[in-house]
Amino acid sequence: MEVKIDTKEKFTVVMPVEPHLYDTMTAELAAVCSQYRQNTVKNVVLNLQSVTAIGENAAAAIVQLQQDFYEDNASFVICGMKPALEDIFDKLELLELLNSTPTETEAWDIVQMEEIERELMDGDDVEFAVNE
């Protein structure tokens, strides 16, 4: 599977080049994306602008991959899905499970917001007053 990789300051963009994501490509796509969870910059934006069709198992694997990233305190945002691709995810009742945006810029915004949220949630210096 051929993909383009673009490394940014807070995330890496992974963009499949082929127009079809077949079920047999799922493991390779997951391996490409998952390798970034080991880096200091763990966040991935999966840009699907070149993809026009996807297999059912591949769609389910992308949802699972996103869940794996969030369990590892990393962001995984999908962008650039064409309406036909959204329809496939919707038909499989997976669309609402995806963290997706129309553009890469909006994906960047989500990554930034999630980074801030993780910093706030992980902060040890936050104390709340208890009413007694």
Structural domain 3-105, CATH architecture: 2-Layer Sandwich (3.30)
Domain ranges of the chain: 3-105
Kindly report the pTM of this predicted structure.
0.87
For the record, the structure tokens of 126 come out as 């936050």
Q: What are phi and psi of 30, to 5 degrees?
A: -60, -40
pLDDT digits 0-9 by tens, 17-46: 999 998 888 889 899 998 998 888 899 999
CA 3 to chain centre: 15
Give me the phi and psi of 20, to 5 degrees please. -120, 130
Residue 5's pLDDT band (boundaries 50, 70, 90)?
very high
Residue 60, pLDDT above cutoff 90: yes
pLDDT on residue 83: 95
Give the Cα separation of 105 and 64 in Å (integer). Answer: 23
* Phi, psi (degrees; rounded to nearest 5) at 103: -125, 160
pLDDT band at 48 (very low <50, low <70, confident <90, very high): very high
Measured distance CA(91)–CA(24) in Å, rounded? 20
pLDDT at 40: 85
Q: What confidence category does residue 122 fall into, taking pLDDT thresholds of 50, 70 and 90?
A: confident
Instruction: Tell which residue, 113, 97, 95, 96, has the closest CA to residue 43.
Output: 113
Q: Tell whether the model's pLDDT for residue 131 goes beyond 80.
A: no
How many residues does this entry show for the chain?
A: 132
Higher per-residue confidence, 67 vs 26: 67
pLDDT digits (tens, 9 = 90+) for 69-118: 999 999 999 999 999 999 999 999 999 999 999 999 999 999 999 999 98
